[in-house]
């Protein structure tokens, strides 16, 4: 009536005009990810992994392929199987995080990245060497022990395999099973 | 042999300066022609550059109105965005539909563009600086801008596309309807200022005609906004209904020319509003900075046009027509009658109005504007009450019984 509503509408847009734009200029500015972000670049600790393939079993898409080799390992002395293959077909991954939930030894973690664009699908397959060499910045998703430490994966601080386990599970100090015997792990 | 300019060029200071320099090196007739071409090129290039900047400015402003940033990647603050757009459009394929009228299809963008460029010839930039100080300046503007509707209809007709012809028909209907209140609101200005020349109109504004005729400005602003096919009235190119309206089939440089004409029309309309209603070059700064005042006033008008575009959604065709014939036309007529009666009573022995007279008109016309808006709102928004008008809610059974009775 009397054009008052129109003036009100004009004032709403004028109020918006005086506001700061909400746009984040992506390549220069970034939204900081939540520590629990389920992203790319899975963090994997070879020392903790037994090759049990729980992650591969629980994956709804069946995109994790694990091949283990019992030869050349002292299984009877408590040594674990040697891992030959740990492929994650990232181009089909939906980042549900069930593999991380399923891991009984806290060996697999989600990552915080989201910029893994590649030109071919084969480049999107994460091999075991990629997992070995990737920076150890685990996401705290489904890992309350990391949240208890108030660990932030975006801070750049890297965690070693001894720091990421659950405190109540002291199995790795007493048992050899599941532990890959390396010079580093023998020092404890 | 002395070289003297004739006609309206004598009042143009910039024109005379250029001419006196040119006549030193070439014969008089050649100097006159060369000066005219130079001045026209100067104006047209300023106009085209400002149009290009306008596309950037409007997108930035719209972005800020929607709390976005707008184009800012290419150049400082994205200022080179128009160049990128133009290069992108230049390299597009130049399509002409098979069933189209090829000659009309090619000249349609030019017909849309030409009136916009021609209007800037009469707009006074500064005291005495206009390409042509026509004594029928207002009439010239109205006559020339009406040609745009011809261009729009040619564009829609020649495209051989149903959406284009829909858009063209809608555009022409809106243009013809809104021409009436716009002409009447400008007529009231001419009555007060006593001249059709834009220079005289600016000089007659002891106080801006914005205050003397607020209703005239309202009608002219809304009407010209509809004539430019800008957003509350952009049914001629409604993207969500008819793909792009009359320029659906235009691509490449033809599309660029049509877009430039639309943005140029906004600048030209803002310039006309600034000259006719906001006092043109007059302002507190010294006289040689008049162009700066005109520029500021034009930019304010452009801002308001963009603001309205960012706020209001598109109207339906019947709402637009009803708003024109039931709202703007009575308003402009009331404004005209009020101004005519006031001028008849208040005018001096030479038909001139003093500043005191203008202030009296200002007060009276403001009151009339408020009253008119309220009364017209009552009249237009008076909905028919179905219970009082004798009609009643009929159930399904009653309808069936009525059918059997027949």
Could A10 and B381 be called an inter-chain contact, meaning their C-beta atoms sit closer than 8 Å?
no
What is the reported pLDDT for A60?
Answer: 93
Residues of chain B where predicted confidence (pLDDT) is lower than 50: 1, 406
pLDDT tens readout for residues B238-269: 778 888 888 888 888 888 888 888 888 889 99
By C-alpha distance, which of B47, B39, B81 is closest to B267? B47
Cβ distance B47 to B265 under 8 Å? no
Contact B377 A1 (CB under 8 A): yes
CB contact under 8 A, A21 and B374: no
Report chain B residues touching chain A, CB-CB < 8 A.
61, 63-69, 307-308, 310-312, 373-374, 377, 381
Give the tens place of pLDDT for each residue, B297-312: 899 999 999 999 888 8
Nearest chain A residue to B371, by CA: A2
Contacts of B65 in chain A (CB under 8 A): 13, 16-17
Phi-psi region of A143 (alpha: psi -120 to 50; beta: other; left: phi over 0): beta
Say whether B68 and A16 touch across the interface (CB within 8 A).
no
Q: How deeply is B394 buried, as exposed, middle or buried, from its count of CB atoms within 10 A (0-12, 13-18, 19+)?
A: exposed
Residues of chain A found within 8 Å of residue B68, distances taken between Cβ atoms: 21-23
* Cα distance between residue A110 and residue A126, in whole Å: 13
Residue with tokens 């490449």: B252
The reported pLDDT for the residue numbered A176 is: 45
d(CA B305, CA B225): 8
Q: How confident is the model at residue A185 (pLDDT cuts 50, 70, 90)?
A: very low
Residue % of chain B over a pLDDT of 90:
4
> What confidence score (pLDDT) does residue A65 get?
92
Predicted local distance difference test score (pLDDT) of residue B233: 86
Residue-wise pLDDT for B36-92, tens only, equals 788 788 888 888 888 888 889 888 988 888 888 888 888 788 888 888 888 988 888
CA atoms of B34 and B18, how far apart (whole Å): 9
Nearest Cα neighbor of B262 from B278, B277, B250 is B250
Cα–Cα distance measured from residue B150 to residue B108, given in angstroms and rounded to the nearest whole number = 9
DSSP B18-70: HHHHHTTTS-HHHHHHHHHHHHHHHHHHHHHHHHHHHHHHHHHHHHHHTT---
User: In the structure, how many helices (H) and strands (E) does chain B have?
Assistant: 16, 0
The reply to whether ipTM tops 0.85 is: no
Q: Hey, which residues does A40 pair with through a beta bridge?
A: A113
Q: How far apart are CA B69 and CA B356, in angstroms?
A: 47
Q: Could you tell me if A48 and A107 are in contact, meaning their C-beta atoms sit under 8 angstroms apart? A: yes
Please calculate the CA angle A54-A56-A58 and round it to the nearest 5 degrees: 70
Neighbours of B149 (CB within 10 A): 21
- Which chain A residues contact residue B61 at CB under 8 A? 17
Contact B233, B225 (CB under 8 A): yes
- Residue A68 in contact with residue A82, Cβ under 8 Å? yes
pLDDT given for residue B135 in this prediction: 81
Per-residue model confidence as pLDDT tens digits over A112-123: 888 878 899 888
CA distance B97 to chain A (A): 38
Q: Are B283 and B128 in contact (CB under 8 A)?
A: no
How far apart CA B47 and CA B275 sit, in angstroms, is 16
> Can you give the residue ranges of every domain in chain B?
92-380
Measured CA to CA, the distance from residue B197 to residue B200 in angstroms comes to 5
Burial class (CB in 10 A: 0-12, 13-18, 19+), B41: exposed
Question: For residues A66-81, b (16+ Cβ closer than 10 Å) or e, as one string?
Answer: bebeeeeeeeeeebbb
| CATH number given to A40-183 | 3.30.70.20
């Amino acid at each position: 009536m009397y054009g008052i509503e129109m003036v009100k509408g004009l004032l709403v847009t004028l109020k918006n005009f005086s506001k700061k734009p909400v746009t984040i200029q992506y390549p220069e500015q970034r939204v900081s990810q939540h520590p629990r972000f389920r992203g790319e670049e899975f963090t994997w600790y070879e020392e903790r992994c037994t090759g049990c393939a729980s992650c591969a079993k629980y994956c709804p898409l069946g995109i994790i392929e694990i091949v283990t080799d019992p030869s050349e390992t002292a299984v009877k002395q408590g040594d674990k199987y040697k891992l030959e293959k740990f492929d994650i077909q990232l181009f089909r991954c939906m980042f549900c995080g069930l593999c991380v939930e399923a891991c009984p030894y806290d060996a697999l973690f989600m990552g915080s990245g989201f910029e893994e664009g590649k030109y071919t699908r084969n480049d999107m397959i994460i091999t075991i060497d990629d997992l070995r060499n990737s920076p150890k910045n685990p996401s705290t998703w489904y890992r309350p022990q990391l949240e208890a430490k108030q660990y932030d994966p975006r801070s750049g601080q890297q965690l070693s395999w001894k720091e990421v386990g659950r405190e109540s599970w002291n199995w790795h100090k007493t048992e050899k099973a599941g532990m890959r015997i390396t010079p580093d792990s023998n020092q404890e | 042999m002395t070289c003297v300019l004739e006609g309206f060029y004598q009042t143009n200071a910039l024109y005379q300066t250029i001419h006196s320099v040119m006549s030193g090196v070439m014969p008089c007739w050649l100097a006159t022609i060369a000066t005219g071409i130079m001045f026209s090129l100067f104006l047209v290039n300023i106009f085209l550059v400002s149009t290009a900047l306008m596309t950037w400015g409007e997108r930035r402003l719209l972005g800020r109105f929607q709390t976005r940033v707008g184009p800012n990647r290419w150049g400082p603050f994205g200022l080179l965005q128009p160049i990128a757009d133009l290069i992108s459009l230049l390299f597009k394929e130049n399509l002409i539909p098979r069933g189209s009228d090829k000659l009309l299809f090619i000249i349609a963008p030019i017909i849309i563009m030409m009136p916009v460029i021609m209007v800037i010839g009469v707009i006074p930039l500064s005291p005495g600086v206009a390409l042509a100080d026509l004594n029928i300046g207002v009439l010239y503007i109205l006559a020339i801008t009406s040609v745009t509707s011809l261009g729009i209809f040619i564009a829609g007709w020649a495209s051989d596309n149903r959406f284009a012809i829909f858009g063209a028909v809608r555009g022409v209907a809106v243009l013809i309807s809104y021409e009436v209140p716009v002409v009447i609101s400008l007529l009231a200005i001419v009555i007060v200022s006593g001249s059709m020349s834009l220079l005289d109109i600016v000089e007659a504004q002891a106080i801006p005609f914005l205050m003397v005729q607020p209703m005239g400005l309202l009608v002219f602003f809304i009407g010209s906004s509809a004539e430019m096919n800008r957003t509350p009235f952009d049914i001629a190119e409604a993207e969500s209904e008819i793909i792009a309206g009359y320029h659906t089939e235009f691509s490449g440089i033809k599309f660029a020319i049509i877009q430039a004409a639309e943005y140029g029309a906004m600048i030209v309309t803002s310039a006309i509003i600034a000259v006719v209603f906001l006092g043109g070059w007059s302002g507190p700064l010294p006289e040689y900075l008049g162009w700066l005042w005109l520029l500021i006033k034009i930019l304010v008008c452009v801002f308001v046009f963009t603001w309205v575009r960012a706020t209001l959604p598109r109207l339906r065709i019947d709402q637009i027509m009803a708003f024109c014939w039931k709202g703007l036309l009575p308003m402009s007529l009331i404004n005209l009658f009020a101004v005519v009666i006031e001028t008849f009573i208040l005018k001096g022995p030479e038909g001139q109005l003093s500043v005191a007279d203008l202030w009296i008109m200002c007060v009276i016309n403001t009151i009339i504007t408020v009253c008119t808006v309220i009364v017209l709102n009552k009249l237009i928004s008076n909905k028919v009450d179905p219970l009082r008008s004798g009609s009643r809610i009929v159930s399904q059974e009653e309808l069936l019984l009525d059918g059997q009775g027949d």
